[in-house]
A and B are shown apart, each in its own frame.
Chain A
Amino acid sequence: DAMVIQNPRYQVTQFGKPVTLSCSQTLNHNVMYWYQQKSSQAPKLLFHYYDKDFNNEADTPDNFQSRRPNTSFCFLDIRSPGLGDAAMYLCATSTVFRSGANVLTFGAGSRLTVL
């Protein structure tokens, strides 16, 4: 089945130790997103790629970086994780709905714990 796959599902890192989360999709969607979701909060958009064009949200810390080497893969790099970066990280892709609007297809998420 076509889908969005995130790895790893659970990641434990130490304070300040870089971590990379990956997302792959078989949907051939041209837009890919990274969201951060802390416990009992709304998903917060960090950035998105429209094809190779990177779009950063104004309030996304510099500590968060992203790479999209090809259509299928997108990575989230956290250069120096702090305790406040512990969260679920959600990857999503978008396509044009039959009525012409985009909808999001999400992966299952990667839960990051920072010790």
Chain B
Amino acid sequence: SQQGEEDPQALSIQEGENATMNCSYKTSINNLQWYRQNSGRGLVHLILIRSNEREKHSGRLRVTLDTSKKSSSLLITASRAADTASYFCATDLNTGNQFYFGTGTSLTVIP
């Protein structure tokens, strides 16, 4: 990929469980963002964490960032069937205008 790898590639959980997906990237960044993509649609921005932050929360989402390991994780708590989608991390390097996406995690939440 241009910038990052995500794991797992696919994740299947029961409704109500938590889902954790991980992202690793290659170079220094300004910030890291997570996006969601429903099948056959465009991506939607979920949450952003700056390079000087270690953890961020937004509703049922929790993001962590470890710049020493060049990695991030996205936790979705109390998952719902509507959370079924692909999730991508994106980094903007230091240029601020070029965004590169990780390989994505396909999440299936079983009702």
A residues with a Cβ closer than 8 A to B are 4, 31, 33, 35, 40-45, 48, 50, 55, 57, 88, 90, 92, 94, 97, 99, 101-109, 111
Nearest chain B residue, comparing its CB with the CB of A43: B101
Q: Are A104 and B90 in contact (CB under 8 A)?
A: yes
Q: Are B50 and A101 in contact (CB under 8 A)?
A: yes
Q: Is B85 an interface residue (CB 8 A)?
A: no
Known: A45-B98, A48-B97, A50-B97. A101 touches B42 (CB 8 A): no
Measured between beta carbons, the chain B residues less than 8 angstroms from A50 are 97
Q: Are A102 and B97 in contact (CB under 8 A)?
A: yes
Contact of B42 among A44, A99, A103, A106 (CB under 8 A): A106
Q: Are A104 and B99 in contact (CB under 8 A)?
A: yes
Separation of A101 and B50 alpha carbons in the complex (Å) = 8
Identify the 10 closest CB pairs spanning chains A and B, nearest first.
A106-B42, A42-B101, A103-B45, A101-B31, A106-B43, A43-B101, A108-B42, A42-B103, A109-B42, A42-B1
State the interface size on chain B (CB cutoff 8 A): 27
Separation of A86 and B2 alpha carbons in the complex (Å) = 19
Q: Which of B1-37 contact A (CB under 8 A)?
A: 1-2, 30-31, 33, 35
Q: Are A104 and B97 in contact (CB under 8 A)?
A: no
Q: Are A45 and B99 in contact (CB under 8 A)?
A: yes
Q: Are B40 and A111 in contact (CB under 8 A)?
A: yes
Nearest chain A residue, comparing its CB with the CB of B31: A101
Q: Are B97 and A42 in contact (CB under 8 A)?
A: no
Q: Are A41 and B103 in contact (CB under 8 A)?
A: yes
Measured between beta carbons, the chain B residues less than 8 angstroms from A103 are 33, 45, 48
Separation of A101 and B95 alpha carbons in the complex (Å) = 11
